Structure 1
Amino acid sequence: MSEMVISGTGAVTPVGIGNEQLWDHVKNGVKGVRKTKRFPTLNEIPCAEITDMDFLESIVDRRMRRSADISKYASAAADLAIKDSGNGPFSGTDTALIMGITHGALNYTQAFHASLIKEGIDAASPLHFSDSVLNAPAGNASICHGVRGPAHTILGGAETAVKAIILACMMLESGCVGKAVVVCAEELNELSASCYLRMGVAGLSEGAGAIVVEKRGTQGFPSHHCRISGASSMCYPSAPETASAEVITRCLAKANLKARDISLIMTDCEIPAGLSLDGMPAASITHLTGNAFAASALWQVILSSLMIKNDTIPGTVIRNGGAIPDRIRHIMVFTSGVQGNAAAVVLTRE
């Protein structure tokens, strides 16, 4: 199998927009989660909001100015990743755009159905309808950047980010495209925040992350971030713990690595026992950025690539007592859910 590399990254997060700002703010432990008065029916619940972004400056296509927030975040993150890769053009049929989302444009979806029910079909906004379709963010981001190759949307939880990376690698390996832009995005919504709060889940977030994936040796820009040395995903609803252990084992095997070779695990989940991972440093940025589901998982991938590129692990992200290694070689990003969905990807220093 051909070696795949991440040649560009872009992040739109509540703690920083762009690689430099994200890196600096994470190193300094800047927290984006704070009480918000954004939702009238919810009494100052903790959320992480995008508050300092000028969409008109961040989005290259002015037609996107009225699109849903999730599409704006996705388009802005893709723009940052494409510029970071330095290997254009990305317009045309040789580039794929793969979007991972969890909820979609819930605010426009609510607005469309509210007007439809309260005022009738003539009052329903065509914009609200078109942007409420689940694959609208992928379509909007593709239009914004002139991508005329395949555009796919993958739905699910945090594991969707890794699944999108796997699909990108498969498409590149098959030769149907030469470059792939992987994007994950999420927007805050009052109704979903209320539902999650009732389930005991707080600290929801919004924003987007994007990476450019290419075959090694095809990128014209020499300083790519890192190599994707292995990735795996699976769904085992009847035995979630088995799914987690199995996906890590498969990911290590695909990367031709042992557990002891991993320098750091980026995860919000419990690390399965019995895999020789005890004592290994585990890290996460979700306590800083909030939980944006698939977007959060891709933020973990982006930060991992920046840690490899800078050869530094910020102490602000460590979530256990594991010793930070002097030299970063391999970082695993791992995610799993209660429904038995699990996924992992290993990023490797060149």
Structure 2
Amino acid sequence: MTITARRTQRFDVAVTGLGLVTPAGTGVEANWDLVTSGRSTATRDPNLEGLTVDFSCRVPDFDPAALLGARRAWRMDRVNQLAVAAARQAVADAGLDTSTWDGARVGVVMGNSLGGAASYEREHDTFRDEGEDFVSPFLMVKSPVNMIAGYVAIDLKAGGPNMVVSTACASGPTAIGTARHLLESGMCDIVLAGGSEASLTRTTIAAMQRMGALSTRTDAPEAASRPFDADRDGFVAAEGAAVLVLERADDARARRARVRANISGYGASADGYHPSAPDPSGAGVERAIRAAYADALVEPRDIVHINAHGTSTPLNDVTESRVIRRVVGDHPAVTSTKGAVGHLLGAAGAVEAAYTVLAVQHQTVPPTANLDAQDPEIEVDVVTKEARPMRIEAAATHSFGFGGQNGVLVVTAP
């Protein structure tokens, strides 16, 4: 398989700000401390009591009323609250002032899978039990997926292109790749890009359990998410949000911004194979990887770290590892941060892109939590037990979703 690079010069987009609200905590420091420690955040979830799978990875100590004001928070689904919180962090981290920026030149691109699932489920129950007169009219500004980006724009006075992209668990790279195109085209000078998901509802969890996607390790939730381990049995569902502030590298240098890392390549593809199972040949994944490398003008030997999709499911982990070995080789230090924070569905790729940025910035690869005995079919170098300091000039992050949608980003040192 050959993909010819269309570029003759790489287009770097600077990551000047990060915002993270995840099961690892709120803020960059809390997240990096947790994921580099190799600890798991999975725990029993009171909202799931009585279900076959009664545990998840939730954002701890998140108080939307204190952050946004009680009235505003009440009008928003949790997925919107998380997105706004992460976006505010990212803008502050970038040293930008929303009162003075040219909002018309600021875009927002967010990824999501299931929208305001909690609000929809709650109002459906109200309609069933009490009738139409008791359904909240605010449902129509809580549950639609577009409102995630809409609320971020309203909160931060961002008047440029505004959209939500949905490619299931690949939505984060899709959002970041789309943002990169907006910057390259000149449509925007700044884009807030990332993902948000808050779909830990009883119906959603029951459906994922029924399809066999979730770990059923109810006796030890903290050990349930174990990517690449021989004893893995499914993923742990999670919630959270991540937002990256993206600017053209030249513009970031001109304003003397701190650049954590660059987004230098993006590739996407579709398996065209099955609604939920990965193509065992890995052909679609390979196309996305090669496209991202071509876009970044890097060779497989240049990629020394990969933040893998690594879901902790039997099929995904083997297929992904085989593609890594076939396309990139056995030299990259591979990790899956889903062992620590679970699978954030439509926000997973954005959170993992942020963690890859931090790995490049800190020249350290986080370990894969709960990896005790690597599956012998997985013949790649998976980092486990403790973080690995190493020189990282170029890294990649993989995200694959139901529907066979694939997204890959290349992250480079500034």
**Equivalent residue, structure 1, for 2:156:** 145
CA contact (8 A) 1:111 1:128 kept: no
Question: Which of 36, 41, 50 is residue 45 of structure 2 equivalent to?
Answer: 36
User: 3-state SS of the aligned residue for 2:47?
Assistant: coil
State the one-letter code of the partner of 1:293. Answer: L
1:40 is displaced (CA, Å) by 4.0
Change (3 A) 1:113 1:25: same
Q: Kindly tell me: are residues 254 and 206 of structure 1, through their superposed partners in 2, closer, same or farther at Cα, counting changes over 3 Å?
A: same
**Distance in 2, Cα, partners of 1:167 & 1:342:** 14
**Distance (whole Å) between structure 2 residues aligned to residue 61 and residue 52 of structure 1:** 16
The 1:71/1:49 distance shift into structure 2, 3 A limit, reads same
Report SS of the residue matched to 2:104: coil
2:241 is aligned with 1:208? yes
Aligned match of 2:259 = 224
Percent identity at matched positions? 24
Quote the Cα distance in structure 1 between the aligned partners of 2:142 and 2:338: 27
Q: What is the rounded CA distance, in whole Å, between the counterparts of 2:343 and 2:370 in structure 1?
A: 17
Asked whether the 8 Å contact 1:11–1:18 carries over to 2, the reply is yes
Alignment match, 1:300: 352
Q: Which amino acid aligns with 1:289?
A: V
Residue 16 (1) aligns with residue 25 (2): yes
CA distance in structure 1 between the aligned counterparts of 2:194 and 2:73, rounded to whole angstroms: 16
Whether 1:131 aligns to 2:142 is yes
Change (3 A) 1:22 1:325: closer
Out of 336, 359, 362, the residue aligned to residue 284 of structure 1 is: 336
Q: Note the alpha carbon deviations across 1:6-29, whole angstroms, 9 max, x for none.
A: 111111011121001111112222
- Per-residue displacement from partner, 1:127-177 (whole Å, max 9, x unpaired)? 123211221222112112222222101112121111111110111111111
Paired with 2:184 and 2:331, the residues of 1 have a C-alpha distance of 36
Question: Counterpart in 2 of 1:330?
Answer: 394
Which secondary structure does the structure 2 equivalent of 1:205 belong to? coil
Q: Which residue does the alignment assign to 1:194?
A: 206
**Aligned position for 2:289:** 248
Taking a change above 3 Å as real, the CA distance of residues 133 and 222 of structure 1, as seen in their structure-2 partners, is closer
Q: How many residue pairs get matched?
A: 350
SS class of match (2:397) = strand
**Structure 1 position 317, deviation (Å):** 5.8
What SS is found at the alignment partner of 1:93? helix
Residue 252 (structure 1) shift? 1.0
Partner of 2:227: none
Matched-pair contact (CA < 8 Å) for 1:11–1:210:
yes
1:33-90 deviations in whole A, cap 9, x for unaligned?
1122222441562200123122234338962344111110000011111111113335
| Aligned amino acid, residue 208 of structure 1 | A
State how far apart, in whole Å, the 1-side matches of 2:328 and 2:166 are. 32
Give the Cα separation in 1 of the matches to 2:209 and 2:69.
36
1:321 pairs, out of 381, 385, 391, with: 381
Amino acid at match of 2:261: C
Change (3 A) 1:213 1:127: same
- Name the SS for the 2:56 alignment partner: strand
Over 3 Å counting, the alpha-carbon distance change for 1:91 and 1:18 in structure 2 is: farther
Distance (whole Å) between structure 2 residues aligned to residue 338 and residue 207 of structure 1: 19
> What are structure 2's unaligned runs of at least 5 residues?
1-9, 215-235, 311-316, 372-379
Residue type of the partner of 1:140?
Y
Partners of 1:164 and 1:313 in 2: CA distance: 24
TM-score, normalised by the number of residues in structure 1: 0.93
Superposed counterparts of 1:107-122, under 5 Å: 107-122=118-133
Indicate conservation of the 8 Å contact 1:233/1:344, yes or no. yes
**Aligned residues of 1:64 and 1:144 also touching (Cα < 8 A):** no
